[in-house]
Amino acid sequence: MAHHATTTLAPRESRLDLLDAYTALVRTTMDLDTGFLSYFVETYRAVAEETAIPVRVDHLRPGMRVIAAARLEDRTVTLVTRTTVDNQPCISLRWEKTGPDDFSPGGALYPADYFLVVTLDSIADVFDPAPRRVEVPA
C-alpha cells in the first residue's frame, strides 16, 4: 500500500490570498510618483541598494521588517490593526521588542496611505513562508 504525503497551505490564508495581497503591495509601490520615489532613494540607502522598498502601511503584515533612514529604529511588525481617527482611516502597528535597551516598544499610528520602508527579505518571508532549502557543499 502506497503512503501519500499531504501538504497544507499557509495558516489562515490561501496562496491566492497571499498573491492578491502581494500584488496590491507591489502596485502601490510602483505607482509612487518619481519625486516621492527619489526621496526614498536619497534618504534610505537600502532603497538605493534595492534591498528594501517603500510600502504603504495599509499593506504591511506581521513579520515585515521596517527600517529607518539612519538604521536606528528598525522594527519587525507584529500586529496590524485598521482603525479610524477623526473619521479618517488609520493603521495601528505594533512592533517586536528588539532587546532590553528598547525604549520604544509598542507601536505607532499612521494614516492608511503613509509609506514605510520594508526589507525585501522580510517581504519574501511573509509571502513565501515555505522553508527555504539550504544547499550543503559536498
Report, in this order, helix, strand and coil percent for the chain, each rounded to 5.
30, 30, 45
User: What is the pTM (predicted TM-score) of this model?
Assistant: 0.75
Q: pLDDT by residue (tens digit) across 9-25?
A: 445 567 777 888 888 88
Please report, in angstroms and rounded to a whole number, the separation of the first and last CA atoms in the chain.
Answer: 35
Q: pLDDT by residue (tens digit) across 58-97?
A: 999 999 999 987 655 678 899 999 999 899 999 999 888 7
